[in-house]
Chains A and B, each alone.
Chain A
Protein backbone atom coordinates (compact mmCIF):
# COMPACT_ATOMS: atom_id res chain seq x y z
CA UNK A 1 0.00 0.00 0.00
CA UNK A 2 1.15 3.50 -0.72
CA UNK A 3 -0.15 4.59 2.64
CA UNK A 4 2.58 3.87 5.14
CA UNK A 5 4.82 6.86 5.95
CA UNK A 6 7.82 5.05 4.52
CA UNK A 7 6.00 4.17 1.31
CA UNK A 8 4.79 7.75 0.99
CA UNK A 9 8.29 9.05 1.48
CA UNK A 10 9.66 6.71 -1.14
CA UNK A 11 6.84 7.80 -3.45
CA UNK A 12 8.07 11.34 -3.09
CA UNK A 13 11.69 10.44 -3.64
CA UNK A 14 11.08 8.40 -6.76
CA UNK A 15 8.60 10.87 -8.16
CA UNK A 16 11.06 13.67 -7.58
CA UNK A 17 11.27 14.50 -11.29
CA UNK A 18 7.55 14.57 -12.07
CA UNK A 19 4.46 14.98 -9.95
CA UNK A 20 2.32 14.31 -12.96
CA UNK A 21 3.09 12.84 -16.34
CA UNK A 22 0.78 12.40 -19.34
CA UNK A 23 2.04 10.05 -22.01
CA UNK A 24 0.11 10.25 -25.27
CA UNK A 25 -3.22 10.34 -23.42
CA UNK A 26 -6.54 10.35 -25.27
CA UNK A 27 -10.07 10.54 -23.90
CA UNK A 28 -13.30 9.77 -25.69
CA UNK A 29 -16.70 10.05 -24.04
CA UNK A 30 -18.89 7.23 -25.30
CA UNK A 31 -19.05 7.27 -29.09
CA UNK A 32 -18.34 10.97 -29.48
CA UNK A 33 -15.26 12.45 -31.04
CA UNK A 34 -12.19 12.50 -28.82
CA UNK A 35 -12.34 15.21 -26.14
CA UNK A 36 -8.58 14.93 -25.71
CA UNK A 37 -6.12 13.59 -28.23
CA UNK A 38 -2.51 12.48 -27.78
CA UNK A 39 -1.77 14.67 -24.79
CA UNK A 40 1.76 14.50 -23.40
CA UNK A 41 3.25 16.73 -20.74
CA UNK A 42 4.82 16.55 -17.32
CA UNK A 43 4.66 18.74 -14.22
CA UNK A 44 7.66 19.21 -11.95
CA UNK A 45 7.00 19.35 -8.23
CA UNK A 46 6.37 22.89 -7.08
CA UNK A 47 5.52 24.13 -10.57
CA UNK A 48 2.63 26.45 -11.42
CA UNK A 49 0.77 26.16 -14.73
CA UNK A 50 -2.32 27.54 -16.35
CA UNK A 51 -4.45 25.56 -18.77
CA UNK A 52 -6.20 27.79 -21.25
CA UNK A 53 -8.46 27.08 -24.17
CA UNK A 54 -11.87 27.92 -25.53
CA UNK A 55 -14.98 26.47 -23.99
CA UNK A 56 -15.17 22.80 -24.99
CA UNK A 57 -11.44 22.58 -25.67
CA UNK A 58 -11.07 19.89 -23.03
CA UNK A 59 -9.80 21.72 -19.94
CA UNK A 60 -12.24 20.10 -17.55
CA UNK A 61 -11.70 16.70 -19.13
CA UNK A 62 -7.97 17.01 -18.53
CA UNK A 63 -8.68 17.84 -14.88
CA UNK A 64 -11.03 14.87 -14.54
CA UNK A 65 -8.30 12.56 -15.77
CA UNK A 66 -5.93 13.90 -13.17
CA UNK A 67 -8.31 13.58 -10.25
CA UNK A 68 -9.25 10.14 -11.52
CA UNK A 69 -12.93 10.71 -12.14
CA UNK A 70 -12.51 9.30 -15.65
CA UNK A 71 -10.04 6.84 -17.11
CA UNK A 72 -8.05 7.60 -20.24
CA UNK A 73 -9.18 5.83 -23.40
CA UNK A 74 -5.55 5.48 -24.44
CA UNK A 75 -2.13 6.43 -23.10
CA UNK A 76 -0.64 6.47 -19.65
CA UNK A 77 -1.03 8.85 -16.71
CA UNK A 78 1.43 8.80 -13.85
CA UNK A 79 0.57 10.60 -10.64
CA UNK A 80 3.22 10.77 -7.92
CA UNK A 81 5.01 8.07 -9.85
CA UNK A 82 2.00 5.70 -9.89
CA UNK A 83 0.44 4.54 -13.12
CA UNK A 84 -3.13 5.50 -12.24
CA UNK A 85 -4.64 2.68 -14.29
CA UNK A 86 -2.71 0.18 -12.17
CA UNK A 87 -3.41 1.59 -8.74
CA UNK A 88 -5.47 -0.84 -6.66
CA UNK A 89 -8.97 0.14 -5.55
CA UNK A 90 -7.71 0.17 -1.97
CA UNK A 91 -4.88 2.63 -2.69
CA UNK A 92 -6.89 4.97 -4.89
CA UNK A 93 -8.47 6.96 -2.01
CA UNK A 94 -5.05 7.66 -0.54
CA UNK A 95 -3.78 8.89 -3.88
CA UNK A 96 -6.82 11.14 -4.21
CA UNK A 97 -6.21 12.68 -0.80
CA UNK A 98 -2.97 14.11 -2.12
CA UNK A 99 -4.88 16.00 -4.81
CA UNK A 100 -6.96 19.10 -4.08
CA UNK A 101 -9.68 19.95 -6.58
CA UNK A 102 -11.77 23.04 -7.19
CA UNK A 103 -14.55 21.65 -9.38
CA UNK A 104 -15.95 23.87 -12.09
CA UNK A 105 -19.45 23.25 -10.68
CA UNK A 106 -18.19 23.52 -7.05
CA UNK A 107 -19.87 20.31 -5.88
CA UNK A 108 -20.57 21.58 -2.39
CA UNK A 109 -22.66 19.42 -0.06
CA UNK A 110 -25.89 21.37 0.31
CA UNK A 111 -26.86 19.96 3.69
CA UNK A 112 -23.57 20.88 5.35
CA UNK A 113 -22.66 24.34 6.63
CA UNK A 114 -19.92 26.24 4.84
CA UNK A 115 -17.64 25.32 7.71
CA UNK A 116 -18.41 21.60 7.48
CA UNK A 117 -18.01 21.71 3.71
CA UNK A 118 -14.56 23.21 4.02
CA UNK A 119 -13.63 20.53 6.56
CA UNK A 120 -14.71 17.55 4.43
CA UNK A 121 -11.20 16.52 3.27
CA UNK A 122 -9.87 16.72 6.82
CA UNK A 123 -12.67 14.58 8.20
CA UNK A 124 -12.19 12.05 5.45
CA UNK A 125 -8.50 11.94 6.30
CA UNK A 126 -9.59 11.03 9.83
CA UNK A 127 -8.76 14.24 11.70
CA UNK A 128 -10.62 15.11 14.88
CA UNK A 129 -12.81 18.23 14.79
CA UNK A 130 -10.90 19.84 17.67
CA UNK A 131 -7.67 19.60 15.74
CA UNK A 132 -8.84 21.43 12.63
CA UNK A 133 -11.49 23.81 13.94
CA UNK A 134 -9.26 26.87 14.16
CA UNK A 135 -7.45 26.24 10.89
CA UNK A 136 -10.67 25.90 8.96
CA UNK A 137 -12.17 29.01 10.55
CA UNK A 138 -9.01 30.93 9.71
CA UNK A 139 -8.99 29.77 6.13
CA UNK A 140 -12.66 30.68 5.68
CA UNK A 141 -11.97 34.11 7.12
CA UNK A 142 -9.12 34.45 4.67
CA UNK A 143 -11.36 33.78 1.66
CA UNK A 144 -13.88 36.29 3.03
CA UNK A 145 -16.43 33.85 4.45
CA UNK A 146 -15.91 34.72 8.10
CA UNK A 147 -19.54 35.69 8.58
CA UNK A 148 -20.93 32.94 6.38
CA UNK A 149 -19.46 29.90 8.12
CA UNK A 150 -22.75 28.54 9.42
CA UNK A 151 -24.68 29.16 6.25
CA UNK A 152 -25.76 26.35 3.97
CA UNK A 153 -24.38 26.51 0.40
CA UNK A 154 -27.77 27.09 -1.31
CA UNK A 155 -27.97 30.46 0.43
CA UNK A 156 -24.48 31.47 -0.66
CA UNK A 157 -23.95 33.75 -3.67
CA UNK A 158 -22.05 32.36 -6.69
CA UNK A 159 -18.78 34.01 -5.72
CA UNK A 160 -19.13 32.80 -2.15
CA UNK A 161 -19.69 29.23 -3.29
CA UNK A 162 -16.59 29.46 -5.42
CA UNK A 163 -14.49 30.71 -2.53
CA UNK A 164 -15.85 27.91 -0.36
CA UNK A 165 -14.96 25.36 -3.03
CA UNK A 166 -11.45 26.81 -3.11
CA UNK A 167 -11.16 26.65 0.66
CA UNK A 168 -12.17 22.99 0.61
CA UNK A 169 -9.63 22.21 -2.10
CA UNK A 170 -6.70 23.73 -0.25
CA UNK A 171 -7.60 22.95 3.36
CA UNK A 172 -5.78 19.62 3.40
CA UNK A 173 -2.55 21.10 1.96
CA UNK A 174 -2.65 18.89 -1.13
CA UNK A 175 0.54 18.08 -2.98
CA UNK A 176 -1.10 19.07 -6.22
CA UNK A 177 -3.93 21.58 -6.57
CA UNK A 178 -6.27 21.47 -9.55
CA UNK A 179 -8.59 24.42 -10.03
CA UNK A 180 -11.12 24.40 -12.83
CA UNK A 181 -12.02 28.01 -13.64
CA UNK A 182 -11.68 29.03 -10.00
CA UNK A 183 -12.22 32.75 -10.55
CA UNK A 184 -15.10 32.60 -13.01
CA UNK A 185 -17.58 34.13 -10.57
CA UNK A 186 -15.25 36.44 -8.71
CA UNK A 187 -14.60 40.16 -9.08
CA UNK A 188 -11.14 41.42 -9.91
CA UNK A 189 -10.21 42.03 -6.30
CA UNK A 190 -11.24 38.57 -5.08
CA UNK A 191 -9.63 36.95 -8.14
CA UNK A 192 -6.38 38.53 -7.21
CA UNK A 193 -6.75 37.41 -3.66
CA UNK A 194 -7.40 33.83 -4.71
CA UNK A 195 -4.45 33.90 -7.07
CA UNK A 196 -2.34 35.12 -4.17
CA UNK A 197 -3.56 32.16 -2.08
CA UNK A 198 -2.60 29.76 -4.86
CA UNK A 199 0.80 31.41 -5.19
CA UNK A 200 1.37 31.10 -1.45
CA UNK A 201 0.47 27.43 -1.49
CA UNK A 202 2.76 27.00 -4.47
CA UNK A 203 5.62 28.56 -2.55
CA UNK A 204 5.01 26.05 0.22
CA UNK A 205 5.58 23.30 -2.33
CA UNK A 206 2.17 22.56 -3.81
CA UNK A 207 2.12 21.94 -7.52
CA UNK A 208 -0.62 24.12 -9.03
CA UNK A 209 -2.62 23.66 -12.21
CA UNK A 210 -5.34 26.19 -13.01
CA UNK A 211 -7.78 25.96 -15.90
CA UNK A 212 -9.01 29.41 -16.81
CA UNK A 213 -10.45 31.81 -19.34
CA UNK A 214 -9.09 34.77 -17.47
CA UNK A 215 -6.32 36.08 -19.72
CA UNK A 216 -5.59 39.02 -17.43
CA UNK A 217 -4.86 36.68 -14.56
CA UNK A 218 -2.64 34.54 -16.76
CA UNK A 219 -0.80 37.55 -18.12
CA UNK A 220 -0.32 39.15 -14.73
CA UNK A 221 0.98 36.02 -13.05
CA UNK A 222 3.56 35.36 -15.73
CA UNK A 223 3.29 31.62 -15.15
CA UNK A 224 3.63 29.07 -17.97
CA UNK A 225 0.59 28.10 -20.01
CA UNK A 226 -0.64 24.81 -21.45
CA UNK A 227 -3.07 25.73 -24.18
CA UNK A 228 -5.74 23.31 -25.40
CA UNK A 229 -7.27 23.62 -28.81
CA UNK A 230 -10.08 21.18 -29.59
CA UNK A 231 -8.48 18.44 -27.53
CA UNK A 232 -4.93 19.09 -28.71
CA UNK A 233 -2.26 20.41 -26.42
CA UNK A 234 -0.30 23.43 -27.59
CA UNK A 235 2.47 24.53 -25.30
CA UNK A 236 3.16 28.22 -24.82
CA UNK A 237 5.90 30.06 -23.05
CA UNK A 238 5.24 32.07 -19.92
CA UNK A 239 3.28 35.25 -20.48
CA UNK A 240 3.02 34.69 -24.23
CA UNK A 241 -0.38 35.55 -25.72
Chain B
Protein backbone atom coordinates (compact mmCIF):
# COMPACT_ATOMS: atom_id res chain seq x y z
CA UNK B 1 0.00 0.00 0.00
CA UNK B 2 2.73 2.45 1.00
CA UNK B 3 4.29 1.38 -2.23
CA UNK B 4 1.12 2.35 -4.07
CA UNK B 5 0.96 5.76 -2.48
CA UNK B 6 4.64 6.45 -2.83
CA UNK B 7 4.70 6.16 -6.60
CA UNK B 8 2.58 8.56 -8.58
CA UNK B 9 0.55 5.59 -9.49
CA UNK B 10 -1.51 5.19 -12.59
CA UNK B 11 -3.26 1.99 -13.59
CA UNK B 12 -1.74 0.05 -16.48
CA UNK B 13 -3.58 0.08 -19.79
CA UNK B 14 -6.00 -2.74 -20.46
CA UNK B 15 -4.02 -3.91 -23.46
CA UNK B 16 -0.54 -5.35 -23.02
CA UNK B 17 2.00 -2.65 -23.87
CA UNK B 18 4.28 -4.46 -26.22
CA UNK B 19 3.49 -6.90 -28.92
CA UNK B 20 6.03 -8.79 -31.00
CA UNK B 21 4.37 -7.54 -34.16
CA UNK B 22 4.94 -3.91 -33.20
CA UNK B 23 8.42 -3.75 -34.72
CA UNK B 24 7.44 -4.72 -38.23
CA UNK B 25 4.23 -2.69 -38.10
CA UNK B 26 6.19 0.40 -37.08
CA UNK B 27 8.59 -0.25 -39.93
CA UNK B 28 5.80 -0.55 -42.52
CA UNK B 29 3.96 2.56 -41.35
CA UNK B 30 7.21 4.52 -41.10
CA UNK B 31 8.10 3.53 -44.66
CA UNK B 32 4.70 4.62 -45.94
CA UNK B 33 5.02 7.92 -44.11
CA UNK B 34 8.51 8.39 -45.54
CA UNK B 35 7.17 7.92 -49.07
CA UNK B 36 4.24 10.25 -48.45
CA UNK B 37 6.58 12.95 -47.16
CA UNK B 38 8.88 12.56 -50.16
CA UNK B 39 5.80 12.97 -52.31
CA UNK B 40 4.92 16.23 -50.59
CA UNK B 41 8.49 17.51 -50.99
CA UNK B 42 8.39 16.60 -54.68
CA UNK B 43 5.21 18.59 -55.22
CA UNK B 44 6.68 21.61 -53.48
CA UNK B 45 9.94 21.45 -55.43
CA UNK B 46 8.12 20.93 -58.73
CA UNK B 47 5.87 23.91 -58.11
CA UNK B 48 8.80 26.12 -57.30
CA UNK B 49 10.74 25.00 -60.37
CA UNK B 50 7.72 25.56 -62.60
CA UNK B 51 7.06 29.01 -61.19
CA UNK B 52 10.66 30.00 -61.72
CA UNK B 53 10.68 28.74 -65.28
CA UNK B 54 7.40 30.30 -66.25
CA UNK B 55 8.38 33.62 -64.72
CA UNK B 56 11.50 33.61 -66.83
CA UNK B 57 9.62 32.54 -69.95
CA UNK B 58 6.70 34.93 -69.66
CA UNK B 59 8.99 37.90 -69.09
CA UNK B 60 10.58 37.30 -72.48
CA UNK B 61 9.57 37.05 -76.09
CA UNK B 62 11.63 36.23 -79.14
CA UNK B 63 11.03 37.73 -82.57
CA UNK B 64 12.34 35.98 -85.66
CA UNK B 65 12.95 38.66 -88.25
CA UNK B 66 12.90 37.91 -91.97
CA UNK B 67 14.87 40.51 -93.90
CA UNK B 68 13.27 42.00 -96.96
CA UNK B 69 15.02 41.59 -100.31
CA UNK B 70 16.81 44.95 -100.22
CA UNK B 71 17.88 44.70 -96.64
CA UNK B 72 20.63 42.92 -94.71
CA UNK B 73 19.48 40.65 -91.91
CA UNK B 74 21.37 42.76 -89.39
CA UNK B 75 19.64 45.91 -90.48
CA UNK B 76 16.23 44.27 -90.38
CA UNK B 77 16.91 43.02 -86.85
CA UNK B 78 18.10 46.44 -85.73
CA UNK B 79 14.99 48.08 -87.15
CA UNK B 80 12.78 45.54 -85.43
CA UNK B 81 14.53 46.07 -82.10
CA UNK B 82 14.08 49.77 -82.45
CA UNK B 83 10.40 49.41 -83.29
CA UNK B 84 9.74 47.10 -80.37
CA UNK B 85 11.67 49.09 -77.78
CA UNK B 86 9.05 51.82 -77.90
CA UNK B 87 6.07 49.55 -77.27
CA UNK B 88 4.47 49.92 -73.82
CA UNK B 89 5.14 46.85 -71.69
CA UNK B 90 8.55 46.29 -73.24
CA UNK B 91 11.58 46.96 -71.08
CA UNK B 92 14.28 46.22 -73.59
CA UNK B 93 14.59 44.83 -77.12
CA UNK B 94 17.98 43.59 -78.37
CA UNK B 95 18.92 42.27 -81.77
CA UNK B 96 21.04 39.17 -81.28
CA UNK B 97 24.28 39.06 -83.26
CA UNK B 98 24.76 36.47 -85.95
CA UNK B 99 27.02 34.46 -83.59
CA UNK B 100 24.33 34.21 -81.02
CA UNK B 101 21.75 33.16 -83.56
CA UNK B 102 24.17 30.58 -84.90
CA UNK B 103 24.82 29.32 -81.39
CA UNK B 104 21.08 28.94 -80.95
CA UNK B 105 20.63 26.87 -84.08
CA UNK B 106 23.86 24.92 -83.67
CA UNK B 107 22.29 22.05 -81.76
CA UNK B 108 20.10 21.39 -84.78
CA UNK B 109 22.23 22.38 -87.74
CA UNK B 110 25.77 21.91 -86.46
CA UNK B 111 28.56 24.43 -87.01
CA UNK B 112 27.46 26.75 -89.82
CA UNK B 113 29.96 29.60 -89.38
CA UNK B 114 31.55 28.78 -92.76
CA UNK B 115 28.30 29.09 -94.60
CA UNK B 116 28.38 32.88 -94.75
CA UNK B 117 25.56 33.07 -97.20
CA UNK B 118 23.13 30.91 -95.40
CA UNK B 119 20.23 33.21 -94.62
CA UNK B 120 20.06 32.69 -90.92
CA UNK B 121 17.08 34.61 -89.61
CA UNK B 122 18.02 37.18 -87.03
CA UNK B 123 16.49 37.11 -83.59
CA UNK B 124 15.34 39.97 -81.43
CA UNK B 125 15.13 39.23 -77.72
CA UNK B 126 12.49 41.26 -75.94
CA UNK B 127 12.37 41.67 -72.16
CA UNK B 128 8.83 42.30 -71.08
CA UNK B 129 7.53 44.18 -68.11
CA UNK B 130 6.39 41.44 -65.73
CA UNK B 131 3.65 43.59 -64.26
CA UNK B 132 1.95 44.42 -67.58
CA UNK B 133 3.71 42.61 -70.38
CA UNK B 134 3.05 43.69 -73.98
CA UNK B 135 0.79 41.20 -75.69
CA UNK B 136 1.92 39.40 -78.86
CA UNK B 137 -0.64 41.36 -80.85
CA UNK B 138 0.73 44.76 -79.76
CA UNK B 139 4.19 43.56 -80.67
CA UNK B 140 2.91 42.38 -84.05
CA UNK B 141 1.16 45.68 -84.64
CA UNK B 142 4.37 47.60 -83.88
CA UNK B 143 6.30 45.49 -86.40
CA UNK B 144 3.65 45.79 -89.05
CA UNK B 145 3.55 49.57 -88.68
CA UNK B 146 7.22 49.65 -89.67
CA UNK B 147 6.73 47.12 -92.45
CA UNK B 148 8.86 44.45 -90.75
CA UNK B 149 8.20 40.80 -91.42
CA UNK B 150 8.59 38.87 -88.17
CA UNK B 151 7.31 35.93 -86.25
CA UNK B 152 6.58 36.48 -82.59
CA UNK B 153 7.25 33.71 -80.11
CA UNK B 154 5.97 34.75 -76.69
CA UNK B 155 6.91 31.32 -75.22
CA UNK B 156 3.27 30.71 -74.35
CA UNK B 157 3.47 27.22 -75.85
CA UNK B 158 6.28 26.39 -73.44
CA UNK B 159 4.67 27.89 -70.39
CA UNK B 160 1.44 26.06 -71.16
CA UNK B 161 3.31 22.78 -71.50
CA UNK B 162 5.26 23.32 -68.31
CA UNK B 163 2.16 24.29 -66.39
CA UNK B 164 0.38 21.21 -67.71
CA UNK B 165 3.28 18.94 -66.72
CA UNK B 166 3.33 20.50 -63.28
CA UNK B 167 -0.40 19.84 -62.93
CA UNK B 168 0.08 16.23 -63.98
CA UNK B 169 2.89 15.78 -61.45
CA UNK B 170 0.75 17.32 -58.71
CA UNK B 171 -2.20 15.07 -59.57
CA UNK B 172 -0.02 11.97 -59.72
CA UNK B 173 1.57 12.83 -56.38
CA UNK B 174 -1.86 13.46 -54.91
CA UNK B 175 -3.06 10.09 -56.19
CA UNK B 176 -0.02 8.30 -54.83
CA UNK B 177 -0.50 10.11 -51.53
CA UNK B 178 -4.09 8.84 -51.30
CA UNK B 179 -2.91 5.37 -52.20
CA UNK B 180 -0.30 5.46 -49.44
CA UNK B 181 -2.89 6.69 -46.96
CA UNK B 182 -5.25 3.90 -47.93
CA UNK B 183 -2.43 1.36 -47.65
CA UNK B 184 -1.55 2.66 -44.19
CA UNK B 185 -5.20 2.40 -43.17
CA UNK B 186 -5.39 -1.14 -44.50
CA UNK B 187 -2.22 -2.18 -42.68
CA UNK B 188 -3.56 -0.78 -39.42
CA UNK B 189 -6.92 -2.48 -39.97
CA UNK B 190 -5.08 -5.72 -40.54
CA UNK B 191 -2.99 -5.24 -37.41
CA UNK B 192 -6.07 -4.36 -35.38
CA UNK B 193 -7.72 -7.55 -36.53
CA UNK B 194 -4.67 -9.61 -35.55
CA UNK B 195 -4.36 -7.71 -32.27
CA UNK B 196 -7.98 -8.34 -31.40
CA UNK B 197 -7.68 -12.04 -32.07
CA UNK B 198 -4.45 -12.26 -30.09
CA UNK B 199 -6.08 -10.37 -27.20
CA UNK B 200 -9.35 -12.17 -27.39
CA UNK B 201 -9.10 -13.23 -23.75
CA UNK B 202 -8.71 -9.63 -22.64
CA UNK B 203 -11.52 -8.47 -24.88
CA UNK B 204 -13.82 -11.16 -23.54
CA UNK B 205 -13.12 -10.39 -19.91
CA UNK B 206 -13.65 -6.67 -20.46
CA UNK B 207 -16.82 -7.42 -22.32
CA UNK B 208 -18.25 -9.72 -19.66
CA UNK B 209 -17.32 -7.17 -17.02
CA UNK B 210 -19.55 -4.65 -18.73
CA UNK B 211 -17.22 -2.73 -21.04
CA UNK B 212 -18.99 -1.18 -24.00
CA UNK B 213 -17.81 -2.04 -27.50
CA UNK B 214 -16.71 1.52 -28.01
CA UNK B 215 -14.59 1.41 -24.84
CA UNK B 216 -12.75 -1.67 -26.09
CA UNK B 217 -12.43 -0.31 -29.62
CA UNK B 218 -10.91 2.84 -28.18
CA UNK B 219 -8.17 0.82 -26.50
CA UNK B 220 -7.04 -0.39 -29.91
CA UNK B 221 -7.55 3.03 -31.41
CA UNK B 222 -5.27 4.71 -28.88
CA UNK B 223 -2.73 1.92 -29.16
CA UNK B 224 -2.36 2.08 -32.93
CA UNK B 225 -2.59 5.86 -33.03
CA UNK B 226 0.40 6.04 -30.68
CA UNK B 227 2.35 3.53 -32.68
CA UNK B 228 1.58 5.35 -35.93
CA UNK B 229 2.49 8.73 -34.48
CA UNK B 230 5.93 7.35 -33.66
CA UNK B 231 6.23 5.66 -37.04
CA UNK B 232 5.05 8.89 -38.71
CA UNK B 233 7.75 10.85 -36.89
CA UNK B 234 10.40 8.36 -38.02
CA UNK B 235 9.22 8.53 -41.65
CA UNK B 236 9.04 12.32 -41.56
CA UNK B 237 12.54 12.64 -40.14
CA UNK B 238 13.82 10.27 -42.82
CA UNK B 239 12.19 12.24 -45.64
CA UNK B 240 13.41 15.54 -44.18
CA UNK B 241 16.89 14.01 -44.11
CA UNK B 242 16.67 13.16 -47.79
CA UNK B 243 15.39 16.68 -48.51
CA UNK B 244 18.29 18.16 -46.57
CA UNK B 245 20.79 16.12 -48.56
CA UNK B 246 19.24 17.35 -51.82
CA UNK B 247 19.34 20.91 -50.55
CA UNK B 248 22.98 20.65 -49.54
CA UNK B 249 24.10 19.00 -52.76
CA UNK B 250 22.24 21.70 -54.74
CA UNK B 251 24.72 24.16 -53.24
CA UNK B 252 24.69 27.96 -53.33
CA UNK B 253 20.92 28.37 -53.01
CA UNK B 254 20.12 29.03 -56.67
CA UNK B 255 16.56 28.17 -57.46
CA UNK B 256 17.50 27.10 -60.94
CA UNK B 257 18.69 23.76 -59.69
CA UNK B 258 16.66 20.82 -60.99
CA UNK B 259 15.21 20.10 -57.54
CA UNK B 260 14.87 23.48 -55.88
CA UNK B 261 14.22 22.59 -52.23
CA UNK B 262 14.29 25.32 -49.61
CA UNK B 263 15.06 24.64 -45.97
CA UNK B 264 11.57 25.85 -45.14
CA UNK B 265 10.10 23.17 -47.45
CA UNK B 266 11.26 20.55 -45.00
CA UNK B 267 8.55 21.78 -42.62
CA UNK B 268 5.97 20.16 -44.87
CA UNK B 269 6.74 16.81 -43.17
CA UNK B 270 5.80 18.22 -39.74
CA UNK B 271 2.12 17.20 -39.77
CA UNK B 272 3.03 13.63 -40.75
CA UNK B 273 2.90 12.09 -37.22
CA UNK B 274 -0.48 13.71 -36.62
CA UNK B 275 -1.91 12.58 -39.95
CA UNK B 276 -0.54 9.06 -39.45
CA UNK B 277 -2.06 8.91 -35.97
CA UNK B 278 -5.39 10.14 -37.30
CA UNK B 279 -5.51 7.62 -40.14
CA UNK B 280 -4.53 4.83 -37.74
CA UNK B 281 -7.10 5.91 -35.18
CA UNK B 282 -9.90 5.86 -37.72
CA UNK B 283 -8.85 2.54 -39.24
CA UNK B 284 -8.35 0.84 -35.86
CA UNK B 285 -11.58 2.19 -34.46
CA UNK B 286 -13.68 1.09 -37.42
CA UNK B 287 -12.12 -2.36 -37.57
CA UNK B 288 -12.27 -2.95 -33.84
CA UNK B 289 -15.88 -1.85 -33.48
CA UNK B 290 -17.03 -4.07 -36.29
CA UNK B 291 -15.00 -7.03 -35.11
CA UNK B 292 -15.95 -6.76 -31.44
CA UNK B 293 -19.61 -6.89 -32.26
CA UNK B 294 -18.88 -9.93 -34.44
CA UNK B 295 -16.90 -11.99 -31.93
CA UNK B 296 -18.86 -11.23 -28.77
In whole Å, how far is B223's beta carbon from the nearest beta carbon of chain A? Answer: 13
* Cβ-defined contact, B11 with A107, below 8 A: no
Partner of A124 from B1, B213, B215 at Cβ < 8 Å: B215
* Cβ-defined contact, B209 with A121, below 8 A: yes
Of the stretches B37-45, B48-56, B197-205, B280-288, the one at the interface is B197-205
* Cβ-defined contact, A116 with B208, below 8 A: no
> Given the complex of chains A and B, what is the CA–CA distance between A149 and B3 in angstroms?
10
* Cβ-defined contact, A107 with B205, below 8 A: yes
**CB 8 Å contact bits of B205-229 with A (1 = contact, 0 = none):** 1111111110100000000000000
> Given the complex of chains A and B, what is the CA–CA distance between A109 and B205 in angstroms?
8
Residue B99 lies at the interface, judged by CB distance under 8 Å to chain A: no
In whole Å, how far is B130's beta carbon from the nearest beta carbon of chain A? Answer: 65
**CB 8 Å contact bits of A53-71 with B (1 = contact, 0 = none):** 0000000000000011100
Q: Which of A94-117 contact B (CB under 8 A)?
A: 94-97, 101, 107, 109, 111-113, 115-116
Residues in B neighbouring A68, C-beta threshold 8 A: 208
In whole Å, how far is A146's beta carbon from the nearest beta carbon of chain B? Answer: 8
> Given the complex of chains A and B, what is the CA–CA distance between A109 and B41 in angstroms?
46
Residue B12 lies at the interface, judged by CB distance under 8 Å to chain A: yes
* Cβ-defined contact, A107 with B12, below 8 A: no
Residue A237 lies at the interface, judged by CB distance under 8 Å to chain B: no
Residues in A neighbouring B1, C-beta threshold 8 A: 137, 141, 146, 149
Most A CB within 10 A of own CB, among B4, B207, B210, B211: B210
Number of residues in A with C-beta < 8 Å to the partner? 31
Residues in B neighbouring A133, C-beta threshold 8 A: 4, 9
* Cβ-defined contact, A93 with B12, below 8 A: no
Q: Which of A171-205 contact B (CB under 8 A)?
A: none
> Given the complex of chains A and B, what is the CA–CA distance between A223 and B242 in angstroms?
76
Number of residues in B with C-beta < 8 Å to the partner? 24
> Given the complex of chains A and B, what is the CA–CA distance between A102 and B10 in angstroms?
25
* Cβ-defined contact, A97 with B11, below 8 A: no
Residue B14 lies at the interface, judged by CB distance under 8 Å to chain A: yes
> Given the complex of chains A and B, what is the CA–CA distance between A85 and B12 in angstroms?
34
Residues in A neighbouring B293, C-beta threshold 8 A: 89
> Given the complex of chains A and B, what is the CA–CA distance between A125 and B213 in angstroms?
13
* Cβ-defined contact, A149 with B12, below 8 A: no
Residue A123 lies at the interface, judged by CB distance under 8 Å to chain B: yes
Residues in A neighbouring B209, C-beta threshold 8 A: 96-97, 101, 120-121, 124
Pick the 4 closest A-B CB pairs, nearest first: A97-B210, A96-B210, A111-B16, A93-B210
Q: List 17 A-B contacts (CB under 8 A).
A: A90-B212, A93-B211, A96-B207, A96-B209, A96-B210, A107-B201, A111-B12, A112-B14, A116-B11, A120-B209, A121-B209, A124-B210, A129-B9, A129-B10, A149-B4, A150-B3, A150-B4
